[in-house]
Structure 1
Amino acid sequence: MIKRFLLIASSIAAYGVSHAQITINESDVASVGLTVQNSTSSNILVAAPGGANKTWTFNNLNKSSTDTMKFGAAGWYPGASNFSGATMAIDNGDSSYTFLKKNSSALALMGNYDIFNGVGTPTLLNWKLLTFPATYNTSFKDTTVFAQDPQAFGFDVDGGGPLPTIDSIRVILNLHTNSLVDGWGSLTTPLGTFSSLRVNHMRTNTLTAKVQVSGFWIDAPQAFMDSVFSTSGDTVYQHFYWTNNSAYGFPLLTYSYNSGNDTATDVSWLSGTPQMDAVKDISNFNKILVYPNPSSQFVALQFPFVNGTLQIQDVTGKTILVKPIHGNTALDVSTWQKGIYMIRATSENGMLSTSKFQKN
């Protein structure tokens, strides 16, 4: 999950336009309601040089696969309460949601929330992607720490010797980012020709760890780390090409490359003009699933979030039931009067979901 998460994270990082040098501000980055189509390409590309007034031509990109991503308000989606300060989220379309914080000074990736078999798992980061305003030669450095949940380990360091057994381990991933807007010019893709800024990201991932010994957490000895993990650091280089045309809000082209090797990998590109239509889908997203409906005995309610408050009213507006929500629930309605009942559920973040059912 973390690889996919970091790729998504990396795809949200800078912005630019016109056939002259430009400046990127908060308003130039994707906003609530935007839906984008991003395709991967299997074509072999060469990483282009940076600099001023460049012409970058990548018109031979194909579509190996295409993903649709929808930008919405953070409170629209499950798991928002885990990401304090998040202002937006991306619905990745597979019960996976990426949370962002955008303001006048920076864009940051707050983390990811994935739901599998009905269980939501947050991944917390707070990784800075871009500072505003950004223009040619704008740069920043940032370090983000991702701490894994403790895992049972049970490792005897010296094989029965005097040293105590390591009971548990907590792996810590450190993300060190160096970002530089290293070029501006004209970019051509199958989508068209755009005035662009290019952002060069160098990210080094290093591992550290805490170990629990005799009930105490301590820094893992370096000799232990070297024997269990590769701690030398993994460096990823990436280029992002953006345009400041307000009709777009996502990198026009993204790829990875290796230092000293110009072959581009992990190529993705904006393959369709973004649409401001994500808001239209919220009415469906917010629906409470009710089954069976109608019913004379029991109804099961499935909510689009985990915690909140449930309220049910009859057609006269009389409140029949108020109760806290802690996951999906079933109600015994056998003694209720026949008729139509309105269901309102409010999440901890204030997201309102509605539905109705008929009691026979």
Structure 2
Amino acid sequence: MMLAIRTSLNNKIMKKTLILFSILAPAFAFGQITILDTDLPIIGDTIPRQQDTLTISTEGPSGANQIWDFSNATAHVLNNTAILDPSATPYSSNFSGSNMAMSNDGASYVYLSSYTDSFITDGAAGDLLGTGEILKALFKPSLTLNKYPTAYGNNYQDTYGFDVSADGSFFSILLDSIRLKHSATVYDTVDGWGTTITPTGSYNSLRVKRVEYSIDSIWTLPVFGFPPAWAYLDAFTDTTTTFTWLAKEGKLAIAELNFDSLDNPNVLTWSLMPASPIALFSYTDNGSGGFSFSDISENGPSSWAWDFGDGNTSNLQNPSNQYTADSTYYICLTVTNSAGSDTFCDSVVVTGVTNNPPPIANFSYVDNGGGNVTFTDLSLNSPNSWTWNFDDGNTSTQANPTHQYLADNTYVVCLTVINGNGSDSYCDSIVIMGTSTILAPIASFSWIDNGGGYATFTDLSSNAPTSWAWDFGDGNTSNQQHPNNIYTIQDSTYNVCLTATNSAGSDSYCDSVFIVDTIIALPVRESISNSFNISFNPNPASEKTTIQFSDNYLATNIDLCLFNAMGQKVFQENLRNQPGGNFEIDLIQLKAGVYFYYLKETGSDKAGSGKLLIE
């Protein structure tokens, strides 16, 4: 019975207290690290921690630059350690000198005193035995957990003790009370530094070895004793060892390994506080001064800040950059998450910069939920052609498409972009979840002008709309999914709107539609008698371009027609020259694409034709 009494009292009380304060040592950073009182948790924090109660992990080696890998630990018990103001706990009057309290269950509490030079445990109170009886174990003397500053190689010792009584009937009907007197000496040594890997992440850490030598004496108070007097029962000595791994972002220890009575590891505890990110990147030289950068940082950063060394920056995870001059550039990436930030820099040598670089493919995406994803082209160097492969059998040639996935999966999406100087491809994986969720539609459509005022419209809405409402901008409407419309007034621009609806909601999308009068054969030939020697500057053009005549020819009045790639006339205007004999054309109303021009001088048979590219 003596062993059972001693084991039950001591183990239960110490588990309730040591499970908290044995992990209170604060954290460290890199190699030559120092901890201060400012690294401790503060009132209001909650520190989640998991326990593997069947661990087969060992403590590993001591020393510098070690790796302690607990990534294979299995979660059995979750504890959420609340950091409290002692005044918010029921036993604060017994610990008037404490300025912090901690609890895992809201039923028992450890009381502490935090100072600039030390961190001290004053004791514990509450249902320490799990029997419903309230016990108050005041440490006399208190236990110093840490002295500040401290670092790798430091060591210290301290003594503490407590004297606590409990209801004896829990152990025997013949006992009124049972009493445990505990005294101990603790030796702490910071015996290693390196990297600790847990299922949460990788931490730059220190390891603390704690050895405790204790003496426990058991006293009993019989039910029928007279006069009542405590009777000495027995005394025991014990030695226990605990290893604790400390990291700055953990606030409490990020890992702790306890041992059973046979010195075999039996419980591994680790923190769920996220690890600070470790910045790292790689890059690809695409040639002609174009570079693609890939974030390979560890510990889940949530934001990225790139400095490419040429004045350009980016907040994308995997950006691209076009350098405009050969040189050596110093690139820096700063990554951040809720636990902290880190920066990594590397130099790149840029050669072969050209004024006409090929495109550098890149894109971002937004998961709209329910399998619906919006993709945004971020390619550099003005691509004019896009080919998307969504890895589910579907493709798109839009610059910024929206795609609906029908099954949860991981998809590798690839974008290939082209300009007049070459092509490039970029792929990224996306994880799709929740495709069974019904989402409101995202309206979109395309249209074709068939000539003669006849237009065909195609619904491109995502998220499976069940009804459609079209407004063709001329007073006509339709409820068909893919309608047609005949415009009676041609060579005009109409604002066409589609509202798509399903059981989850509706959405509207509008676009300007330019209707020409008819389809005509292109009067474009390789050579024309009495032809002009002309050029468009610039070509490619965006908003404006200028017709220039060579050989000092001075034209005063010309008729110009532009035709799209389908042979539809989309622009016709009589132009008069400006000073210098040139004609300026406003292209703002035309979409990007390839056009064919035909111009003829008014009152003569001189004419010219060719191609005009609008970006």
TM-score scaled to structure 2, two decimals?
0.37
Q: Which amino acid aligns with 1:269?
A: W
Report the CA distance shift for 1:66/1:91 in structure 2 as closer, same or farther (over 3 A).
same
* Match for residue 241 of structure 1 among 242, 245, 267: 245
Which whole-Å deviations, capped at 9, do the CAs of 1:45-83 have from their partners, x for residues lacking one? 112111112122111111111011110111111101111
- 1:1-360 pair list within 5 angstroms: 1-41=12-52, 42-115=54-127, 120-125=134-139, 126-149=142-165, 171-208=180-217, 228-231=233-236, 233-245=237-249, 248-257=250-259, 263-273=264-274
Report the CA distance shift for 1:146/1:196 in structure 2 as closer, same or farther (over 3 A).
same
Which whole-Å deviations, capped at 9, do the CAs of 1:140-177 have from their partners, x for residues lacking one? 11111111239899xxxxxxxxxxxxx99854111211
Distance, in Å, in 2 between the alignment partners of 1:149 and 1:89 is 22
Report the CA distance shift for 1:119/1:215 in structure 2 as closer, same or farther (over 3 A).
closer
| Contact 1:79–1:120, Cα closer than 8 Å, also in 2 | no
User: SS of the residue aligned with 2:19?
Assistant: helix
TM-superposed deviation, 1:93: 2.4
TM-superposed deviation, 1:178: 0.7
Greater length-normalized contact order (CA 8 Å, ≥ 6 residues apart) = 1
| Contact 2:218–2:235, Cα closer than 8 Å, also in 1 | no
* Alignment-derived partner of residue 292 in structure 2: none
| Contact 1:57–1:187, Cα closer than 8 Å, also in 2 | yes
Which whole-Å deviations, capped at 9, do the CAs of 1:105-142 have from their partners, x for residues lacking one? 21122122215898743221222211111111211111
Distance, in Å, in 2 between the alignment partners of 1:112 and 1:256 is 20
Distance, in Å, in 2 between the alignment partners of 1:152 and 1:71 is 33
Q: Which amino acid aligns with 1:172?
A: K
In structure 1, list runs of 5 or more residues that go unmatched.
Answer: 154-166, 277-360
Distance, in Å, in 2 between the alignment partners of 1:80 and 1:234 is 31
TM-superposed deviation, 1:210: 7.5
User: SS of the residue aligned with 1:15?
Assistant: coil
User: SS of the residue aligned with 1:7?
Assistant: helix
Deviates more, 1:252-261 or 1:90-99: 252-261
| Contact 2:246–2:255, Cα closer than 8 Å, also in 1 | yes
Report the CA distance shift for 1:32/1:214 in structure 2 as closer, same or farther (over 3 A).
same
* RMSD between aligned residues: 3.4
| Contact 2:34–2:151, Cα closer than 8 Å, also in 1 | yes
Q: Which amino acid aligns with 1:17?
A: F
**Aligned pairs, number:** 253
Q: Which amino acid aligns with 1:192?
A: G
Distance, in Å, in 2 between the alignment partners of 1:180 and 1:270 is 21
Report the CA distance shift for 1:52/1:118 in structure 2 as closer, same or farther (over 3 A).
closer
Report the CA distance shift for 1:117/1:150 in structure 2 as closer, same or farther (over 3 A).
closer
Report the CA distance shift for 1:191/1:79 in structure 2 as closer, same or farther (over 3 A).
same
| Contact 1:16–1:195, Cα closer than 8 Å, also in 2 | no
| Contact 1:237–1:259, Cα closer than 8 Å, also in 2 | no
Distance, in Å, in 1 between the alignment partners of 2:21 and 2:217 is 22
Question: Could you say which structure has the larger radius of gyration?
Answer: 2
User: SS of the residue aligned with 1:8?
Assistant: helix
Report the CA distance shift for 1:185/1:260 in structure 2 as closer, same or farther (over 3 A).
farther
TM-score scaled to structure 1, two decimals?
0.61
Distance, in Å, in 1 between the alignment partners of 2:50 and 2:194 is 23
